[in-house]
């Protein structure tokens, strides 16, 4: 464990917004968001996004965001340690516990009844979704917890940290199971495979690796990236792995072979987050360049560009109805897919 305020400052500078010098060239003056669509001969879902409402946070960057699997609620965590639970339908805050530490990672359990947070002090906590009461909370890493993941069966919790480790825990009790990976540099993002048999981790050196859960053995590395990775995600069928990088690119790998399938030079500055639609035909990406982009993955073309503030986090609901974003100024926006 290190000084938590120091950890917060470093996390802002590197983990989320990447190179500090880049942020100064991105305009940040408008709260209004405009949409620009690519020409298309026929209507395709996701070419239009309607902003339903803007939820005002507390003027601090939104560092973590998650939509509940039942599509009812949104969780957001910010720089100043404020954790908020928003009702999508009621458009209001329904819970607001104060963690006092920067909330760097959030994940709902598959049944939406609990959620996990990770913070800048290395603490990992399990919460009751209805009451927002802590079930267990422990210091689990020596440095910032950058990513948390829950296995599809809801039994295992994985955590990644700037202490270079990926650790596995019993979700119900918080009991330590094992350290599944040690990277050469800070772990930036982790994800369980949809079948729950493997875990992928990515670090600040750009290394992306897949590990066997049962024996912690390296299954394969995913070559072709040398830049820091902001996020890695699996497609719902488990066949494709996507990564967001600080060079503005999004890479797609074949999970079975580890071969790079495609690369999108998606943004002019670092990609801060990415999210698949439930059917994996659409990818949404956010960047330091102040844009949200919607990509048609069947044809690898851009469908839509939304421009405004720097968006740090993005999520798509399981019902394919909503896209939720959190920005550098503490705003949470709910978009309806049209």
Contact in structure between 159 and 124 (CB atoms under 8 Å): yes
* The total number of structural domains that make up the chain: 1
Q: How far is CA 240 from CA 222, 225, 254, 307, in A?
A: 11, 16, 5, 28
- The region that residue 103 occupies, defined by phi over 0 for left and psi between -120 and 50 for alpha, beta otherwise, is beta
Instruction: Give the global pTM.
Output: 0.86
Displacement of CA 48 from its chain's centroid (Å): 23
Q: Are strands 165-170 and 156-161 parallel, antiparallel or unpaired?
A: antiparallel
3-state secondary structure 141-185: CCCCEEEEEECCCCCEEEEEECCCEEEEEECCCCCEEEEEEECCC
- The region that residue 177 occupies, defined by phi over 0 for left and psi between -120 and 50 for alpha, beta otherwise, is alpha
Q: What is the pLDDT of residue 289?
A: 95
pLDDT tens, the chain, 338 aa long: 444 544 454 445 444 444 333 322 223 333 333 333 333 334 445 767 888 878 776 678 999 999 999 999 999 998 888 888 888 877 666 566 666 688 999 999 999 999 999 999 999 999 999 988 999 999 999 999 999 999 999 999 999 999 999 999 999 999 999 999 999 999 999 999 999 999 999 999 999 999 999 999 999 999 988 899 999 999 999 999 999 999 999 999 999 999 999 999 999 999 999 999 999 999 999 999 999 999 999 999 999 998 888 999 999 999 999 999 999 999 999 999 88
Contact in structure between 2 and 143 (CB atoms under 8 Å): yes
Nearest of 114, 105, 6, 10 to residue 65 by alpha carbon: 105
Contact in structure between 243 and 229 (CB atoms under 8 Å): yes
How far is it, in rounded angstroms, from Cα 249 to Cα 54? Answer: 28
Domain with residue 191: its CATH number is 2.130.10.10
Range of the domain at 314: 4-337
């Amino acid at each position: 464990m290190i000084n938590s305020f120091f950890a917060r400052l470093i996390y802002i500078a590197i983990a989320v917004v990447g190179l500090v010098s880049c942020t100064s060239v991105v305009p940040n003056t408008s709260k209004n968001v405009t949409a620009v669509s690519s020409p298309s001969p026929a209507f395709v879902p996701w070419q239009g996004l309607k902003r339903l409402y803007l939820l005002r946070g507390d003027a601090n960057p939104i560092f973590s965001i998650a939509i509940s699997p039942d599509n009812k609620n949104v969780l957001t965590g910010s720089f100043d340690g404020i954790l908020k639970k928003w009702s999508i339908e009621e458009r209001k805050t329904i819970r607001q516990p104060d963690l006092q530490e920067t909330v760097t990672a959030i994940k709902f359990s598959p049944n939406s009844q609990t959620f996990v947070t990770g913070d800048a002090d290395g603490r990992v906590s399990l919460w009751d979704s209805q009451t927002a009461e802590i079930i267990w909370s422990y210091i689990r890493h020596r440095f910032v917890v950058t990513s948390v993941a829950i296995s599809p069966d809801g039994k295992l919790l994985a955590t990644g940290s700037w202490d270079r480790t990926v650790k596995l825990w019993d979700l119900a009790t918080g009991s330590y199971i094992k350290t599944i990976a040690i990277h050469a540099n800070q772990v930036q993002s982790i994800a369980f495979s949809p079948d729950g048999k493997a875990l992928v981790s990515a670090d600040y050196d750009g290394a992306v690796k897949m590990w066997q859960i049962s024996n912690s053995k390296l299954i394969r590395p995913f070559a072709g990236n040398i830049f820091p990775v902001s996020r890695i995600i699996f497609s719902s069928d488990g066949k494709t792995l996507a990564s967001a990088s600080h060079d503005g690119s999004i890479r797609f790998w074949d999970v079975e072979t580890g071969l790079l399938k495609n690369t999108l030079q998606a943004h002019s500055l670092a990609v801060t987050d990415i999210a698949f639609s439930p059917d994996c035909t659409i990818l949404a990406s956010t960047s330091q360049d102040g844009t949200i982009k919607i990509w048609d993955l069947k044809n690898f073309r851009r469908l839509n560009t939304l421009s405004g503030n720097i968006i740090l986090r993005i999520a798509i609901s399981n019902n394919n109805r909503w896209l939720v974003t959190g920005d550098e100024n503490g705003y949470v926006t709910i978009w309806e897919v049209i």
